[in-house]
Structure 1
Amino acid sequence: MRLSPPLAPMLARSVAALPPPGARKALFEQKVDGYRTIVFTGPSPYVQSRRGADLAPAFPEIARAAADLGIEAVLDAELVVHSAGRLDFAALQQRARRRGAAAERAGRAQPAHLVVFDLLEVAGNVLMQEPLRRRRDALEDLFAARRLSAPWALCPQTEDRDVALAWLDPAWGTAGIEGIMIKDPESLYRPDVRGWSKLRARTTTEAIVGAVTGTVRAPTSLLLGRLDASGRLQLVARSTPLSRAAAAELGAVLRPAGPQHPWHDRHFSAGWGTKEPLVFQPVVPEHVAEVAADTAVDLGRYRHPVRYLRLRGDMAPGDVHE
């Protein structure tokens, strides 16, 4: 094998829409909710995370599948766990923390899969300087020749813009499809370069304004919640920074809350993957906001910040439940 880990994956930049009809030809792929993974198959398999770490100890069934493929290859994929009818990112995270016998038990209870979308090397032939359409043909040939099945899965791909639009339907989001990857069929594989595009599936939803960052009169972002089965306010999302107009609108109606607020003395992290506490000001949870959100939800919380759209004066907090 000529390639070796760590190998930086090719990246994508976010876009707001699909290319218009009649634009330059593009290939569309489903963007699944998992861990970006580059898999080195063969006698000494390596299951590489985006940052170069070996995931094999946490996912031993994937390492065995890579060792048993029967040919040395380097594949670009998303590592996923399927649970209760959808891709389960929270279960994937939990599995990533386990080792040894615990990882083996987790692999039997919640097996992982690889959704493969690119082939970078096969049988000593490096394909990174081949156009994507040829790499895809080689990948499909590999799946057919080896009769690959679980844990291997071939990422759906289409040239049909209407099919790609259908993948943005919220029903796909419920199943764990975050959006669409948009790729030039002639593109070469360029590690660590944002040469592809990604469009996240988004939908509108409602949540209760429970706290703000900044000040109550001049908020900079919102902490949003929903009522659980017992009627208690639970955090579900944080907003992106508010526009000046939105900050003025909200600052005029929000009221500071006292110690009776359900989030009084609660601690939330300032960002994904950090333990730094977030400084926030609780407000009386009496206003409902409409927000635009993507489909990535972990244990009831939106993984990515949502975008504030407007206040919903026609809705009461009691209307908004998990």
Structure 2
Amino acid sequence: MPPALDPPLKVALAHSVATLPRGPGLAYEPKFDGHRVVIFRYEAERVVLQARSGRIVTSAFPDLATAARDLPEGVVLDGEVVVWTGGKTDFAAVQARAAATPARAPALARRLPASYAAFDLLAEGGRDLRPLRYERRRERLVAVLGPLGPPLQAVPMTTDPDVAALWFETLTASGLEGLVVKRLDQAYRGGTRAWRKLRHTDTREAAVVGFTGSAQRPDALVLVLPDDDTPVVSRPLAPGLRLRAGAELGGLTEGSGVATAVGKGEVEYRKVPAGIVLAEVAQGTTRHALVTVERLRTAE
């Protein structure tokens, strides 16, 4: 049975809030740093994995594609791919997985196995479930994934704001980025920011995938942020960071690419392998807000 939906599919998004929303009819889910992926289960064991941007990433995650063949035909899931190392989520590792070539992907899958934290069921039995209430989709999500177990699992959910607050305060050691808050009566609205997201801080970790300017003193970095796979160009680097970036990245170049810079349009940049160098960044609340690099570190 084919799914009622096909890629490219626009995913639902969240806007940032400063405090934990409370009130009747709300659901709370933990948000981990990862790589947003939609899973489509077709007939004859065919599986397609789509990133948030619409890019097909099936070959990058052969372990998850294999696991997804156990899903019923016609199912479409929305969720987050995460890699666990040392008891916490590892954004550098999941970004390295997402950027892997088909030739390298199987070896990376063995070394850095991925998990899939599903938070929505968009189709089942060839039926589009997006118009249904979230609480109904959640019921079906748990029913579909319950018999399977890892690496495909439903994210935890609570309707108790005190439990959600406890998660927010205690799960940071596991890589919790924050919480996503949804209304129980809410339909799934792809391409809109109808959900709410509470982060611990406005500072996030991003994978460096390239730079603009010279290899010795880059002008800006090209980054991939958690929950996305579309490269973004940072603000111009501070002088000290330019020197550090040159030292870390200058010898890693592997070709060129094109990314969109806010206010400048498309710019050419030099590519570096994803997941080797990470950047701590501050970003505004909109998708196309400028990103400021605050510090760099080498992935462990």
Counterpart pick for 1:75 among 58, 77, 89: 77
Which residue of 1 is the match for residue 245 of structure 2? Answer: none
Give deviations 1:35-90, integer Å, cap 9, x for gaps: 11111013321100001111111111111122232432001110111111110010
Q: Measured at CA, do residues 125 and 203 of structure 1 come closer, stay the same or move farther in structure 2, by a change above 3 Å? A: closer
Which residue of 1 is the match for residue 10 of structure 2? Answer: 8
Instruction: Note the C-alpha offset of 1:33.
Output: 0.8
The 5-angstrom pairing of residues 120-199 of structure 1 reads 120-144=122-146, 147-169=147-169, 171-199=170-198
- How many residue pairs end up in the alignment? 230
User: Matched residues in 2 for 1:305 and 1:276: separation?
Assistant: 9
Counterpart pick for 1:302 among 275, 280, 291: 280
Q: Measured at CA, do residues 268 and 7 of structure 1 come closer, stay the same or move farther in structure 2, by a change above 3 Å? A: same
Instruction: Note the C-alpha offset of 1:167.
Output: 1.7
> Retained in 2: the 8 A contact 1:116–1:154?
yes
Give deviations 1:295-314, integer Å, cap 9, x for gaps: xx9966424459xxxxxxxx
> Retained in 2: the 8 A contact 1:129–1:188?
yes
User: Matched residues in 2 for 1:303 and 1:94: separation?
Assistant: 19
Which residue of 2 is the match for residue 267 of structure 1? Answer: 218
Structure 2 residue 256 is matched with structure 1 residue 278? no
Secondary structure at the aligned position of 2:189 is classed as: coil
Q: Measured at CA, do residues 62 and 184 of structure 1 come closer, stay the same or move farther in structure 2, by a change above 3 Å? A: same
Larger mean CA deviation between 273-282 and 77-86 belongs to 273-282
User: Matched residues in 2 for 1:119 and 1:274: separation?
Assistant: 29
Select the structure of larger CA radius of gyration.
1
> Retained in 2: the 8 A contact 1:73–1:123?
yes
User: Matched residues in 2 for 1:83 and 1:194: separation?
Assistant: 31
Instruction: Note the C-alpha offset of 1:162.
Output: 0.9
Aligned AA (2:280): Y
Instruction: Note the C-alpha offset of 1:270.
Output: 4.6
> Retained in 2: the 8 A contact 1:26–1:184?
yes
Q: Measured at CA, do residues 105 and 9 of structure 1 come closer, stay the same or move farther in structure 2, by a change above 3 Å? A: same
User: Matched residues in 1 for 2:235 and 2:190: separation?
Assistant: 34
Q: TM-score, normalised by structure 2?
A: 0.70
Secondary structure at the aligned position of 2:135 is classed as: helix
Q: Measured at CA, do residues 93 and 303 of structure 1 come closer, stay the same or move farther in structure 2, by a change above 3 Å? A: farther
User: Matched residues in 1 for 2:193 and 2:40: separation?
Assistant: 22
Q: Measured at CA, do residues 70 and 133 of structure 1 come closer, stay the same or move farther in structure 2, by a change above 3 Å? A: closer
Aligned AA (1:106): L
Considering Cα pairs closer than 8 Å and 6+ residues apart, tell me whether 1 or 2 has the greater RCO. 2
Aligned AA (1:189): Y
> Retained in 2: the 8 A contact 1:41–1:74?
yes
Secondary structure at the aligned position of 1:48 is classed as: strand
Percentage of matched positions with identical amino acids:
35
Counterpart pick for 2:46 among 44, 47, 55: 44
**Structure 1: gaps (5+ residues):** 205-235, 238-264, 284-296, 307-322
User: Matched residues in 2 for 1:71 and 1:279: separation?
Assistant: 48
> Retained in 1: the 8 A contact 2:68–2:152?
no
Instruction: Give the alignment's Cα RMSD to 1 decimal.
Output: 2.7
Q: TM-score, normalised by structure 1?
A: 0.65
Give deviations 1:132-190, integer Å, cap 9, x for gaps: 0000011111123xx11121111010011111111222x42231110000100000011
Q: Measured at CA, do residues 109 and 93 of structure 1 come closer, stay the same or move farther in structure 2, by a change above 3 Å? A: same
